[in-house]
Structure 1
Amino acid sequence: MPSCPAPGQQIVSVKPLTVPAPGRGIGLQVKVTAPQPGRSLPVIVFSHGNAWSLDGYGPLVDRWAAAGFIVVQPTHLDSRRNAIGWDDPRFATIWRVRIADLHAVLDNLGDILAQAGLEARADPKRIAVVGHSWGAQTAGAVLGARVLDADGVAGEDFSHSAVSAGVLIAATGTGDTLTPFAAENLPFMKPDFSTMAAPALIVAGGKDQSQLSTRGPEWFTDAYRLSPAPKSLLTIAEAEHTMGGIAGERVAETTDEDPARVALLAGTVSAYLRTALGLDDAEWTASGSTAVGGDGAWSIASK
């Protein structure tokens, strides 16, 4: 399985940087993390899960930076620091604001990188979007997935031409089996993956049982099954929704703390993006289009 440099290698972070986002109400801020050396660096724009912020996901972001990526992390409106709960009238449209956040970052990427002193070291032609949980649905929209309305009609196309590939970690499945709570409060959780044509890696946990769907862990594989090729699926057998603790070490919501699992995920994403962005396919090719870990802990499928 692909490996990823451990945190501790020389990386730098700059925060907060402000990104123009008219009409948002609360300023859009980002954090940029990059390797200390290197040029022609590919860029990852990362969308966090519900309630998190630009300060989360260090176990992933630091590894990706050490592996040679520039990572840009916006703080979305649903971050805990903004105190916008389910009953806030703004919550119903936050899914759209999240997508707009990623577009704002992509549209202003040159200025963001310049503020961080990285413009001359980045490769603007190699950009990926990655997201976890709600962030995975957000990233999926930028890759071409759409949202179905109450009548099953697909909404507008939010894809962005600057993005070449992506990774969806624990992405929302189809909306036909939402729980009553989710159907009432999260009606936007009805993705249509048939238009998500961009190359993507889907990551699912074999023990990820969502409280928002009546289906089991296979719900999180819909983005792979229902989207057109080329796609790959990484299934981590023992992983729950936080994949071993990708948002941070020993955070309260992690129920399956496992640093080795986090390293496995980080390394696989890095290897996939290196090949999807046309940099180096050695590690990903070595893993094979269909592979199973020797202990059955993970598997990869591709189409």
Structure 2
Amino acid sequence: MATEHVLVGAAAKIPVNSSSPIISFTPVIVPSPGRPAELRLRVTAPASGDALPIILLSHGHGPSNWLSSLQGYAPLAEFYAKHGFVVIQPTHLSSRTLGLQGSQGNEMYWRSRPEDMIQILDQLDRVETTVPGLKGRLDRSKVAGIGHSFGGFTMSLLLGATNTDPRDGTVFRPFEPRIKAGVLFGPTGNGGADMSENGRKILPFYGLDFGTMNTPTLTIGGEDDVGPHLTIRGADWHWDSYTHGPGSKDLLRVKGGHHGFGGISGWDAKETEDESPEMLSMVQRMLLAYLRTQLYEGDKSWQQASEVLTELKQLGSIERKS
């Protein structure tokens, strides 16, 4: 691709389908009675084509001023739109751009984040009619979810995981069966004894259990993604969605990966500790291959990409279970 960075290096060996021009439209405003701020979306889509699969993209809760909103994650949204997906990004209420504070029991608006995604699916007619040229072009039977960091927690809940608030035992499981496959970048892991003392203060509601998360999921874990502010464990804490999730699960271990995965949250983002066009291109391509295989019966993209990656051990490795 002429638009790719010249430094993508060996990741260029991982095959992708051809790319096409894209459009980005924002804001799409979804009616949300009672929500402290209106639900605003960015929609990035191929400029042409029909029967387009859908990606819901949940942003993280990082230190940046803008990236944790619909303004961020262009490296993901643009790439997947170029390769045939309609990518829908909300600004969750936890975004620093809104300056809101969640109430006790809904700290960081952790409950409203999955509700945002469900609202989007309920309002796809409005999304289609608001974005010029999109009406009638969505394939609603092919919906995938991507989440990064705290967005990984959000997406884990939608994929079927259960959160039990350790303070009062309240169980929350907003499982969304319309999402057929998920991809989690550095998601939060198990709660309980695996949390650090500081982690329990930051996330007092946190008691995640992946034992009910049956939806096919790819977890992308950085081998150097260590977070003592949240957990007493090492980088493998971020892989618990793979280790403890039942059913079809895959793990992409990223060599040298920290929490930014080469720069998924924004171009040249200061908060990315592992800035790398090669790493970014690798995770972009592997994720694309995974979703194509999960959403299209008989598609061999994941198998082909995984075989190529076995020869690129300096970039990462794949584990899988069924």
Pair in the same fold by TM > 0.5: yes
Alignment correspondent of 1:30? 41
Counterpart contact for 1:4–1:266, Cα < 8 Å? no
8 Å CA contact retained: 1:131, 1:168:
yes
Aligned AA (2:97):
R
Instruction: Tell me, yes or no, if the aligned pair for 1:2 and 1:271 is still in contact at 8 Å.
Output: no
CA distance in 2, matches of 1:71, 1:207: 28
CA apart distance, 1:118: 1.3
Matched, 1:167 2:178: no
Partner of 1:112: 127
Instruction: Check if 1:199 corresponds to 2:210.
Output: no
Matched, 1:47 2:58: yes
Q: TM-score, normalised by structure 1?
A: 0.92
Aligned partner of 2:157 in structure 1 is: 141
Match of 2:24 among 13, 19, 26: 13
Q: 1:67 to 1:208 in 2, by over 3 A?
A: same
What's 1:101 paired with? 116
Structure 1 Cα separation of the partners of residues 158 and 172 of structure 2: 11
From 291, 301, 305, the equivalent of 1:287 is: 305
User: Superposition pairs for residues 240-259 of structure 1, below 5 Å?
Assistant: 240-259=258-277
Match of 1:155 among 147, 171, 180: 171
More off after superposition, 113-122 vs 140-149: 113-122
SS at match of 1:81: coil
Gaps of 5+ in 1: none
- For the Cα contact (< 8 Å) 1:145–1:194, is it kept in 2? yes
Distance 1:62 1:237, change over 3 A: same
> Contact 1:209–1:216 at 8 Å: present in 2 too?
yes
More displaced 10-residue stretch of structure 1: 152-161 or 285-294 = 285-294
1:296 alignment counterpart: 314
Identity of aligned residues (%): 36
Q: Structure 1, residues 146-176: CA drift from partner, whole Å, max 9, x if none?
A: 1022179571321112111111111101112
In structure 1, distance between residues paired with 2:170 and 2:287: 29
- The number of residues matched between the two structures is 301
- Name the CA distance, whole Å, in 2 between partners of 1:183 and 1:3: 42
Question: What SS does the aligned partner of 2:171 have?
Answer: coil
- Is the contact between residue 146 and residue 156 of structure 1 (CA under 8 Å) also seen in structure 2? yes
- Corresponding position: 1:189 with 2:200: no
Return the alpha-carbon distance in structure 1 between the equivalents of residues 97 and 58 of structure 2: 16
1:230-271 alpha-carbon deviations (Å, 9 max, x no partner): 111111011100111111122121111101111111111111
Q: Does 1:226 align with 2:226?
A: no
